[in-house]
Structure 1
């Protein structure tokens, strides 16, 4: 009996020592993924719930190779809850309002402004200042604009940072083969664009030449800046470099926004803009453009390359291509690149999470070179190898298994691995990995070369500008104004686009928006921008 008890005690002590070592690893060692059990697996495992949005293009799978490998290297098993993009904002806001947020969830700057003061998110600056976030700190120091993500100097989410990104943005994309077939010019202005689309409607009476995804808000976000005003999805404030040397403007409360609605009204009443534009889903949008019912879109222009491949299964000569940005007024054309460092989304840790320090270290590890390779290219030797410069390159035999996959080889590969921009990947590659896959599967051709060249050489494109950092008081006031304005405006836009109200009546909407706080909102953002610039000057 004594010997048996002694052996048991030794076994218990050994387990306790192993657990203690791993706990110290998890809590006190910034090199978290490198010290595991002798078999390469963690001593124990912890489940972390992560919620983020899911697109139609890249379905989220459970227990992907990357999730399994993260569990092996760190002891954290990531349990994903993927919510369709169309429902994500409603689900997110409900969970935040009821204080039922998961351990980690995808948020944006607007969520930070609205919910940080309620204590929903774990504040991160103390962890960074204590040296517990060395990987993000390095990127933070290299990208000073990331300070714009803070409120009152506090950071409430891990920003999704992109690496080696080619420039891209919203752009006008048209069926160039139809222009060539019918001897129609490539439009140089929005007026000419409308004329060309009207002509296509005459030639194809059953068509809806201009198709839209995700409704009115997406239509306004994609088109307003190019038409001389500005709008972001669910948020009318934007930075206008052409106003007084550059300032924040509440787009829907500006006279220029009438021009946006006037153009969209002409497109709608002439039969050019899809009559169902306000309710079309992304899938319906895709089906119309790839099925030959629609010929033009103004959105993420890169979709045109995928649509062309789908079209050519039935129409070998058909192709979409991005146009040079049309002029919205004589000699004036403008568009914006997507932000090519920060994607716009963040991953917040719940303030109620157990053992927050270990979760912070897990997320910080995801900005390391090791994690970047894993979470974007998979497992070395299985899914990728390193080239002579130490850069990850997918293995050709692995990539070639996706040649015929839908909706595209790269989206199918990303879904299989659980990687890249549309997954839970705080430090991701997008065009870097996409280009590799397209070239290995033979889907990269002259059309791709032309597309990326047109984007890079068009002088109308300008870098995007992030919102300035607000104080908590400013953020709370901005939240109230945004809510009031959205309630009033959301029901107005379609009335003017569809012609249910004459465009002259929008002057009253502008006055009402100003009375409800649009001017105050502009002041809040412009004061915050001036304060940020002053702080930068003082550092110099």
Structure 2
């Protein structure tokens, strides 16, 4: 019995020893494993970062800020978003043609910048472009921006009849910063009052042309499209780059503007200016460089432009060119020859971008949308676009952001660094108005002028939105190809006098009709009746 118990005790002791040994082994193994794992993790080299995403983009290059591959903003996109931009350049002065040629070629970059709804509708309707409305879940900053600024109704205006929108929009406040400007020093030194009407403007410039025969008193860029758009509002019509579709509120119908009596009167005044040699004869052909030379060398006396930044740079150039008292200043909009005093309506839509539908099949599709969402609509992205990099271009103060002392701005013309030309700021993805940035760069005189213009109600009212289906858009495109070139050519001839406004107008209307302008109006008004 004792031997049996002794044997059992031995077996039990052996079992416990083995169990204890196994526990120790397990503890040792686990401990060693943890140690080795910790050692491996702690000593392993840093994980290789993901390969950058390369996105192609069509960009409207400007003469005064040529594209640079080493722009700071490009470096920041790579650093912050791991994105490299393959930038393809188009001349800003003829960018509409560049876009059309790009779309027709079929070789559309991943991103096309600076587009407007009416220029891309036909491509969207034909399936060439991506419907952003299908991917709102990938763009939280965009959706927050729309909600924060109460832009839902504006976004709806971009939808085609299928309910989708194909353009990623940028927005601005409804303050008209496109204004008339004039050489205030020349007017004042010759005892001329600020012109209140087109007729007074005409008389003043005729007088100044006599005194300064080498001047081209009224000049403009973009083939005159900007000037004509500004003047068109004074005749109650769209003109120049404002398009040709005019809403007649009294009759609740749409008209082809270049066939209206109001357009005829616009041509009449421009022809009068041309014959008096106060309208620049090179207005239809000159490029930006020629235009700016005339602004800065004393030849131009009146033009239209964006006045946001003031005129210190131009005035400094005038001084360099022998006009120590030379001064450009904003000119209150004159009343037209038919009694309308108005500036072009301000569309909250500022400009937009599109991407081709093919990107949905690319492995970087979601990354592309997330990058655009960040670059255009996030606070960080908008700050980078406008202000740049804290400590390099600006600093935060208790009173808001301010540029560093070396940065050249309207408030600091003595600065040595042009952040647009040198760093690429305010170029690529500057779709949205950064209100803090815009208000900061306006000189006090400009702020006061714009406040006066706003209070006077000088800005025309926006026309209603006209919804067109894909068939209508395509029909309009085909008709436009026939009508637009002739209307533009004839308009130029009316201005220069090659065509007589009184004797050739009826023949001009007949040719427009033969090319289909009344069919164009029928399409618009059929859609309008269905929409009402």
TM-score for both structures, normalised by structure 2 = 0.81
For the pair 1:332 / 2:340, whether they are aligned, the reply is: yes
**Aligned in 2, Cα 1:132/1:347: closer, same or farther, shift over 3 Å?**
same
Q: Secondary structure at the match of 1:462?
A: coil
Give the Cα separation in 1 of the matches to 2:130 and 2:188. Answer: 56
Give the aligned partner of residue 273 of structure 1: 279
CA RMSD of superposed structures (Å)? 3.2
Give the Cα separation in 1 of the matches to 2:165 and 2:241. Answer: 23
Give the aligned partner of residue 31 of structure 1: none
Q: Secondary structure at the match of 2:480?
A: helix
**Aligned in 2, Cα 1:247/1:64: closer, same or farther, shift over 3 Å?**
farther
Give the aligned partner of residue 183 of structure 1: 191
Show CA shifts across 1:178-204 (max 9, x none): 221111121111111111110111111
**Aligned in 2, Cα 1:149/1:60: closer, same or farther, shift over 3 Å?**
farther
Show CA shifts across 1:185-227 (max 9, x none): 2111111111111011111122211112121434422322223
Show CA shifts across 1:39-84 (max 9, x none): 9x95221111111212233333223222222222222112222321
Give the aligned partner of residue 394 of structure 2: 384
- Where structure 1 has 5 or more consecutive residues not aligned to the other structure, the ranges are 1-9, 15-36, 439-443, 535-540
For the pair 1:427 / 2:437, whether they are aligned, the reply is: no
**Aligned in 2, Cα 1:63/1:246: closer, same or farther, shift over 3 Å?**
farther
1:273 Cα offset (Å): 0.5
Give the aligned partner of residue 74 of structure 1: 81
Please say which of residues 457-466 and 206-215 is displaced more in the overlay. Answer: 457-466
For the pair 1:145 / 2:154, whether they are aligned, the reply is: yes
Give the aligned partner of residue 100 of structure 2: 93
Give the Cα separation in 1 of the matches to 2:188 and 2:67. Answer: 40
1:369 Cα offset (Å): 1.7
Matches within 5 A, 1:66-465: 66-106=73-113, 107-128=115-136, 131-141=137-147, 142-143=150-151, 144-152=153-161, 153-162=163-172, 165=173, 167-233=175-241, 235-239=243-247, 243-244=249-250, 248-302=254-308, 305=311, 306-313=313-320, 314-329=322-337, 331-339=339-347, 341-343=348-350, 345-353=351-359, 354-355=362-363, 356-366=365-375, 367-388=377-398, 393-399=401-407, 412-420=418-426, 422-429=427-434, 432-437=436-441, 444=443, 447-465=445-463
**Aligned partners of 1:62 and 1:79 also within 8 Å:** no
Matches within 5 A, 1:45-64: 45-64=52-71
**Aligned in 2, Cα 1:425/1:218: closer, same or farther, shift over 3 Å?**
closer
1:279 Cα offset (Å): 0.9
Query: How many residue pairs end up in the alignment?
Result: 479
TM-score for both structures, normalised by structure 1 = 0.80
Give the Cα separation in 1 of the matches to 2:413 and 2:90. Answer: 23
Give the Cα separation in 2 of the matches to 1:531 and 1:317. Answer: 59
1:483 Cα offset (Å): 1.7
**Aligned in 2, Cα 1:282/1:338: closer, same or farther, shift over 3 Å?**
farther
Give the Cα separation in 1 of the matches to 2:381 and 2:501. Answer: 53
1:523 Cα offset (Å): 4.5
1:295 Cα offset (Å): 0.6
**Aligned in 2, Cα 1:203/1:48: closer, same or farther, shift over 3 Å?**
same
Show CA shifts across 1:145-185 (max 9, x none): 122222222221211234xx582344322112222111112
**Aligned in 2, Cα 1:402/1:433: closer, same or farther, shift over 3 Å?**
same
**Aligned partners of 2:409 and 2:441 also within 8 Å:** no
**Aligned in 2, Cα 1:427/1:192: closer, same or farther, shift over 3 Å?**
closer
**Aligned in 2, Cα 1:60/1:161: closer, same or farther, shift over 3 Å?**
farther
Show CA shifts across 1:91-121 (max 9, x none): 2212211200111112321232121233321
Q: Secondary structure at the match of 1:480?
A: helix
Give the Cα separation in 2 of the matches to 1:401 and 1:201. Answer: 34
Give the Cα separation in 2 of the matches to 1:259 and 1:82. Answer: 39
**Aligned partners of 1:322 and 1:451 also within 8 Å:** yes
**Aligned in 2, Cα 1:277/1:455: closer, same or farther, shift over 3 Å?**
same
1:472 Cα offset (Å): 1.2
- Where structure 2 has 5 or more consecutive residues not aligned to the other structure, the ranges are 1-36
Give the Cα separation in 1 of the matches to 2:425 and 2:92. Answer: 17
**Aligned in 2, Cα 1:469/1:148: closer, same or farther, shift over 3 Å?**
farther
**Aligned partners of 1:261 and 1:497 also within 8 Å:** yes
**Aligned partners of 1:169 and 1:338 also within 8 Å:** no
1:434 Cα offset (Å): 5.0
**Aligned partners of 1:45 and 1:71 also within 8 Å:** yes
**Aligned partners of 1:229 and 1:260 also within 8 Å:** no
1:530 Cα offset (Å): 6.3
